[in-house]
Structure 1
Amino acid sequence: MAKSLLFIPDISGYTKFIQTTEIEHSQHVISELLEVLINANTQKLQLAEIEGDALFFYKQDEVPSQENLLAQIETMFTAFYSHLQRLEKYRICPCNACATAPNLQLKIIAHTGDLSHIEVHGTRKPFGEKVIEAHRLLKNSVESDNYTLISRSLALEIQLSPYYSSKLFRFRQGSDSYDDKDLEYLYSLIDREQLSLPSLEEPTRVSFNRPPNILLEKTFPIAAENLMEYISNYSYRSNWVKGVDNFEFNENEITRIGTKHTCVIDGKDLNFSTVITDAEDNELVYGEVTSDAPFLDELNQFFIITPISDTESQLKSEIYWHINSPAKRLFANLFVKPVLKKNTEKALERLHDFVIEESIKAA
């Protein structure tokens, strides 16, 4: 029987991250990272299981070459840190989960051996001693949370020298005892500065050198960070924005600059992108722009939240539009503006009521 590859990317710092940050956003961050790692699978590895903070891949009766295995490892590290870089650069959420996500790290364990399988509820999974060994190797004495570890048996299989060195990899030898059995391995710490991370565009800050077409303000009995969540998390929109048939968005993604969502109204799609504008240091800002609003060439709405105390905040809603046609501008001022202002006032009132209802539930 040909040997198989066992391959486990594991997110370091997961337990502390989950326990000390906002649970919903921390789950979203981990979900996004796991999806990024799955999409970075270039060697056609089979996904056996998602194990909380880790992915268990295998390649049945085949072990990639040394070159392909190291390339796969580098690809996953690059994808992982590229996504963390994106989370940090385009972040608008002030919560601890989003703020501390860039501190997460990655380790990848690779092992080899003969595989057996077990079927559970119709799902066939790798089973046996080598699977246990691969998972045992996650608990090792490497003094880092950011590395790749290749078992000695796999290193011999792909002819990987203990002295192998490249721009990214510099392998060392190690061993640990598990169940009275020594397992030897090679490991290399990974310096993220040596990864070829793609450059990211600077986030565009939308600004206007004129007053807003509509300006509304309202005080809310809630902390600024929590109000920001109710506004920027699209799963709450139906509680305070009425007249929309459906809100379409990625439920597993945290809202950040560039995030897309769609409002379906009378069968028509209004596509929005998340944007930001300049604000004071103590202000939180969420903004969105669309080119699909009727009679308007472009519509920008900003929610600017200023903390008053730990339990109170001031919300300012600014709406700007751009119209090329003079006739349309006149129509917008006469007919669109009163309707949009009234609808926005009602939405803020419903948001205020929703905030109070949620506070009562939490009490």
Structure 2
Amino acid sequence: MQKAIYFMPDISGFTNFVNNTEVEHSIHIIAELLEILLDNNTLGLELVEIEGDALFMYVTNIPSYNELMKQVTIMHEAFHKHTQNYDSLRICNCGSCKTTTNLELKFLVHYGDLNFIKVKHITKPYGRDVIKIHRLLKNKITYDEYVLFTNSVFELFENQTHDSWEKTTEDYDLISLVYFYKNLGSVKFKIQKLNPLSEEHIDKPILTIEKTFNANIETIYSYITELKHRHLWDKEVKRIEYDASKVNRIGTEHNCILNLGSLKFETITEPSSDSLTYGEKTKEMKFTRDFSYLIKLNKIDANNTKVVLNIYITFSTIGTFMKNNILKLVTKMWNKKLDDLHEISKKENSIINSHNE
């Protein structure tokens, strides 16, 4: 009978969210983290299935204890490097995005027989050893992050393990399972965060437009930052090409398809303690060397928000001679965009308020 190491990294830490944006973003974040784990597979582990927030994997080329623990360490550090950097670069304040650094990772490892079941064209590992590792996903370990070895794994490496393992027994459906576990410690606090790639404009904006919106600040911010909503208020754009599986953050690029040509933009922001700020920059705007804008939202009350648009332009040589005409055009275009943004956010606000009454 062929033997295998069964290996399950399992993510936990998200609370239950109700808001649609929070649920959608939590799915994207978990997907990114699972990809990170797969990209850091050094043992040649075969992926059987993605099971919610966990990966079910196995390998028949049995590694040494040190190789197995190195795999755990590599995945663990890559996981927390991503969550820490995500927090540095995020622009979204939804529950999912704000709590990404709270996510935790644990590993379950089992050694046993490798049997397969085939249903039509799908073949998967099957049998009591598969059931055993899945049962252990629910255990009484109090550590936030740990690696768990079943008794069979511990016996396999009995001459290689160290004294830092703890032993316990739990009953599952009248069956007692012995396992060993080891605290992985607080790796997340040892990871150095990236410096945010935010914009700090020294020059004054070349154009500023201020408006008051009769809408909640979070509603407006969602319409601005969610690229899937852009077409609702920016009628200059026919469509936007972007990675819908990723959450928009500092450094995210997207391509705006216009009636004539296209423009590639990059997401930016600016440090602020009293406002929600979102912006974009491009070097592809005609007659300019650099074009960027920042929209700052300041809360007046629950249903009113001050909106300040700042536009920064470095003109090309030809653009300098056309500066006044360009600014008139840009002012007209952005007044229309902001008016449309006001209308859709105001309608959304009315719907939310009516549901809350």
Does structure 2 conserve the Cα–Cα contact (< 8 Å) formed by 1:217 and 1:317?
Answer: yes
Query: Hey, what does 2:170 align to over in structure 1?
Result: 176
Query: Hey, what does 1:339 align to over in structure 2?
Result: 329
1:300 to 292, 299, 303: 292
1:221 to 214, 224, 228: 214
- Say if 1:277 and 1:81 are closer, same or farther in 2 by CA, change over 3 A: same
Does structure 2 conserve the Cα–Cα contact (< 8 Å) formed by 1:262 and 1:272?
Answer: yes
Q: Deviations over 1:32-79 (max 9, x none)?
A: 2222222222222122111112111122x3322222211111111111
Q: Superposition pairs for residues 277-288 of structure 1, below 5 Å?
A: 277-279=270-272, 281-288=273-280
Query: Hey, what does 2:185 align to over in structure 1?
Result: 191
Unaligned runs of 5+ in 1: 165-169
> Following the alignment from structure 2 to structure 1, what is the Cα–Cα distance between the partners of residues 266 and 349?
29
Q: Deviations over 1:188-222 (max 9, x none)?
A: 1112348874x444124423344322211222222
> Following the alignment from structure 2 to structure 1, what is the Cα–Cα distance between the partners of residues 216 and 39?
37
Does structure 1 conserve the Cα–Cα contact (< 8 Å) formed by 2:48 and 2:56?
Answer: yes
Does structure 2 conserve the Cα–Cα contact (< 8 Å) formed by 1:162 and 1:173?
Answer: no
SS at match of 2:24: helix
Q: What is the TM-score normalised by the length of structure 1?
A: 0.89
Does structure 2 conserve the Cα–Cα contact (< 8 Å) formed by 1:155 and 1:161?
Answer: no
User: Which residue identity lines up with residue 135 of structure 1 in the other structure?
Assistant: H
User: Which residue identity lines up with residue 185 of structure 1 in the other structure?
Assistant: Y
Q: Deviations over 1:304-355 (max 9, x none)?
A: 0000111221111111011352x42221x13322222111111111112222
- Say if 1:26 and 1:115 are closer, same or farther in 2 by CA, change over 3 A: same
Query: Hey, what does 2:304 align to over in structure 1?
Result: 312
Does structure 2 conserve the Cα–Cα contact (< 8 Å) formed by 1:305 and 1:313?
Answer: yes
Query: Hey, what does 1:40 align to over in structure 2?
Result: 40
Does structure 1 conserve the Cα–Cα contact (< 8 Å) formed by 2:84 and 2:188?
Answer: no
1:255 to 244, 248, 257: 248
SS at match of 1:22: helix
- Say if 1:334 and 1:19 are closer, same or farther in 2 by CA, change over 3 A: closer
Query: Hey, what does 1:23 align to over in structure 2?
Result: 23
SS at match of 1:271: strand
Does structure 2 conserve the Cα–Cα contact (< 8 Å) formed by 1:162 and 1:172?
Answer: no
User: Which residue identity lines up with residue 91 of structure 2 in the other structure?
Assistant: I
> Following the alignment from structure 2 to structure 1, what is the Cα–Cα distance between the partners of residues 233 and 188?
47
| 1:329 aligned onto 2:320 | yes
> Following the alignment from structure 1 to structure 2, what is the Cα–Cα distance between the partners of residues 70 and 295?
56
Does structure 2 conserve the Cα–Cα contact (< 8 Å) formed by 1:12 and 1:146?
Answer: no
User: Which residue identity lines up with residue 142 of structure 1 in the other structure?
Assistant: I
> Following the alignment from structure 1 to structure 2, what is the Cα–Cα distance between the partners of residues 19 and 314?
27
> Following the alignment from structure 2 to structure 1, what is the Cα–Cα distance between the partners of residues 117 and 348?
46
Does structure 2 conserve the Cα–Cα contact (< 8 Å) formed by 1:17 and 1:97?
Answer: no
- Say if 1:121 and 1:346 are closer, same or farther in 2 by CA, change over 3 A: farther
State which drifts further: 82-91 or 256-265. 256-265
Q: Deviations over 1:60-108 (max 9, x none)?
A: x332222221111111111111111012212222222211221111111
SS at match of 2:99: helix
Does structure 1 conserve the Cα–Cα contact (< 8 Å) formed by 2:154 and 2:180?
Answer: yes
Unaligned runs of 5+ in 2: none
- Say if 1:121 and 1:353 are closer, same or farther in 2 by CA, change over 3 A: farther
Aligned length: 352
> Following the alignment from structure 2 to structure 1, what is the Cα–Cα distance between the partners of residues 55 and 17?
17
Q: What is the TM-score normalised by the length of structure 2?
A: 0.90
Does structure 2 conserve the Cα–Cα contact (< 8 Å) formed by 1:173 and 1:186?
Answer: yes
- Say if 1:29 and 1:194 are closer, same or farther in 2 by CA, change over 3 A: closer
> Following the alignment from structure 2 to structure 1, what is the Cα–Cα distance between the partners of residues 212 and 24?
26
Identity of aligned residues (%): 33
